Amino acid sequence: MSEKGILRRNTKGTKAQDMYSWPEEAFEEMDSTLAVQQYIQQVIRRDCSRIEEILEPPEGQDEGVWKYEHLRQFCLEFDGLAVKLQQECKPDTCTQMTATEQWIFLCAAHKTPNECPAVDYTRHTLDGAASLLNSNKYFPSRVSIKDSSVSKLGSVCRRVYRVFSHAYFHHPLLFRQFENETHLCKRFTRFVTKYDLMSRDNLIVPISEEEGEEELSMLQRDHNSDEVDESYS
């Protein structure tokens, strides 16, 4: 490591509030094959609500690598929502991967696309995304990526978005609490529209911040009301 290099590592015993607290570094000074990932994570840590700043590539950055690294980062953060969903998204209650009544999604993890519980669909989606994004066949380098490999990112985006839509329509309080903390669905929606990775017709989750805050307040009131009713039953 050079004298100007920054050690990006949480040492043993680092407290949670002190994690990832190394100094920021200009992108052009990041001397690593992981520079794009490090830069994206740096901007997210600065303020995860500044969507356009996070999605704006450094000058001269290869667009294919930029899209690839962002999707990797989305999947890393998406784990947080998947863990929260396990609290209430059960195979016996969410027997299908659905959003609205018009949307039932088949899981591509099987030999032939098949229905499976939403929680299993979520796990299969993350496993499939990890397998593709870490494939030496399609992504042998994180510095240069072939167009034919970049074209495969859209299918991952569609499957990840389906989990967002399921959470929004079937677990709204959990979704809104997670979204208010991370702005992940809003960032993901802006990402796929900015880079034409999904059809706008398939983007069914509202992403207005004002609507989200009002909706969370209403959901919390309803949730508290339900708890009061149950306590007096």
79 within a domain of the structure (yes/no):
yes
For 107, the 3-state DSSP assignment is: strand
51 within a domain of the structure (yes/no):
no
% of residues, the chain, pLDDT over 70: 79
134 within a domain of the structure (yes/no):
yes
2 within a domain of the structure (yes/no):
no
Give residue 106's identity as a one-letter amino acid code.
L
114 within a domain of the structure (yes/no):
yes
DSSP-derived letter for residue 114 is B
Q: What is the pLDDT of residues 116-153, one digit of tens each?
A: 999 999 999 999 999 999 999 999 999 999 999 999 99
Helices (H), the chain: 35-46, 51-55, 63-85, 118-133, 147-150, 153-170, 172-182, 184-194, 209-231
Binding residues for Zn(2+): 89, 94, 166, 171
Instruction: Please give the Cα distance from 58 to 70 (Å, whole number).
Output: 13
Confidence of residue 220 (pLDDT cuts 50, 70, 90): very low
Q: Residue 144 corresponds to which tokens in the numbers above?
A: 């240069």
Residue 127 sits in a domain whose CATH number is 1.20.140.30
12 within a domain of the structure (yes/no):
no
Confidence of residue 111 (pLDDT cuts 50, 70, 90): confident
171 within a domain of the structure (yes/no):
yes
Instruction: Please give the Cα distance from 182 to 218 (Å, whole number).
Output: 20
As a whole number, the mean pLDDT across the chain is 84
Q: Which domain holds residue 101?
A: 62-205
Q: What is the pLDDT of residues 173-210, one digit of tens each?
A: 999 999 999 999 999 999 999 999 999 999 999 986 54
127 within a domain of the structure (yes/no):
yes
Confidence of residue 70 (pLDDT cuts 50, 70, 90): very high
Binding residues: 89, 94, 166, 171
Q: pLDDT value at position 230?
A: 34
CB atoms inside a 10 Å sphere around CB 74: 20
Is the pLDDT higher at 225 or at 101?
101
Q: Domains in the chain: how many in total?
A: 1
